[in-house]
Structure 1
Amino acid sequence: MDNELTPRALEIAACARALLVGGGYNSFSYADISASVQISKASIHHHFPSKAELVRTVLLRYREEARTGLAALVQHVPEPLAQLEAYTGYWATCMRDATSSFCICAMLAAELPTLPREVADEVRGHFLDLAAWLASVLAAGAAQRVFFLQTSPEGEAMAFMATVHGAMLSARAYGDPEVFAATVQPLMRRLTSP
């Protein structure tokens, strides 16, 4: 997908991504990007005729990065418990060093009723992708007797996502990235306790 975007369009998309993480869809305008990237609003419109198109592009790239990252995780980390630990560890590290302190799609899910349809569809798609991956990891771990599920892998995947995204919210609310790990650790203990 990156080869479809010019270097300037990539710069605009990166700025939009940072603004989305910081405050969601309705928190920024092309004027904010213009000031940050030092480009006219007309030039931004040349690359992305609408804000919805810009955000959809950011989300398409984000979803591809997530799918690639999860596939690489499965390939390099064969144990289901280690996969979940690596996934939550990724977010804990991002929050500590402020590289990406929040899942863009989790942020946008809160705004879903007000989002343009094409943006909302990408947000839902991310949640479906992540839920499917988590369910497969949880099912594999249950089959290996590493995880002790209280419901179906799909149900546990939904609870896992809700906990991780809630932990992100809590860490942001408290202004303390360590709240994330403290919130997620009990879930990991529950999954591994017979």
Structure 2
Amino acid sequence: MSNASSTFDDILRCARSLIIAGGYNGFSYADIAKVVGIRNASIHHHFPAKSDLVRTLVARYRAEAEAGIAELERNVADPAGQLRAYTGYWQACIIDASAPFCVCALLATQIPVLPAEVALEVRAHFRVLSAWLTSVLERGAREGSLRLDGTAEAEAETFLATVHGAMLSARAYGDAGMFGVVIRPLLARLIFSR
């Protein structure tokens, strides 16, 4: 069972890197088989269709993101610190290329061509992030550490769009530092300096 579990995880890891590199239609089972060193039939055993593979990948990604948010909530008490930690996480990932782009953000750009079940998972990821950010922004506004120009919900969507746009800018320019160039003014606008 351990070997099957390892193959399952290897397939998902490979698919994740291939999606980040080229999107949903930018890879095939043959590409995964070559990288992982297995036959296509082994991939089909675990994931009968590509949509099954990517839906499972996004569901796992969502679970990882939710665990990361829960850990951030436990370790960083103040809302301003949580916003800094969230953007700092992405900045570090982009700089060291460990996760240079959010899988769900990349797939969101491809919603029109995604299978419905994959699109559903991608949308659920954004809803979870938006709800968490809304709660952080509401808390920060109540405590007086964050300044909101609109509703917490609208600010959360602006924050998400800016973070993901900053990832896109860093990728487009081939410059990891571009992420910080875009994010710093966002944080400066939201966080009261003391």
The CA deviation at 1:21 is 1.4
Could you say which residue in structure 1 is the equivalent of 2:126? Answer: 127
Residue deviations 1:1-29 (CA, integer Å, cap 9, x gap):
xx9x7111111111001111112111111
What is the one-letter code of the residue matched to 2:168?
Answer: L
The CA deviation at 1:36 is 0.4
Distance 1:89 1:21 in 2: 20
Distance 1:42 1:18 in 2: 21
Could you say which residue in structure 2 is the equivalent of 1:12? Answer: 11
What's the RMSD between the two structures over aligned residues?
Answer: 1.2
Distance 2:25 2:44 in 1: 18
Could you say which residue in structure 2 is the equivalent of 1:161? Answer: 160
Distance 1:192 1:73 in 2: 18
Could you say which residue in structure 2 is the equivalent of 1:184? Answer: 183
Listed as ranges, the gaps of 5+ residues in structure 1 are: none
Matched, 1:73 2:72: yes
Matched, 1:141 2:140: yes
What is the one-letter code of the residue matched to 1:106?
Answer: A
Distance 1:71 1:118 in 2: 26
The CA deviation at 1:193 is 4.8
Q: How many residues align?
A: 191
Distance 1:166 1:46 in 2: 37
Distance 1:62 1:56 in 2: 10
- SS of 1:6's equivalent in the other structure is helix
Q: Which runs of 4+ in 1 moved over 2 A?
A: none
Identity of aligned residues (%): 53
Distance 2:110 2:91 in 1: 24
Could you say which residue in structure 1 is the equivalent of 2:36? Answer: 37
What is the one-letter code of the residue matched to 1:83?
Answer: Q
Could you say which residue in structure 2 is the equivalent of 1:95? Answer: 94
For normalisation by structure 1, the TM-score amounts to 0.96
Could you say which residue in structure 2 is the equivalent of 1:46? Answer: 45
What is the one-letter code of the residue matched to 1:159?
Answer: T
Could you say which residue in structure 2 is the equivalent of 1:170? Answer: 169
- SS of 1:105's equivalent in the other structure is helix
Residue deviations 1:87-146 (CA, integer Å, cap 9, x gap):
000000000000000000000000001000010000000000000000000001000111
The CA deviation at 1:192 is 2.2
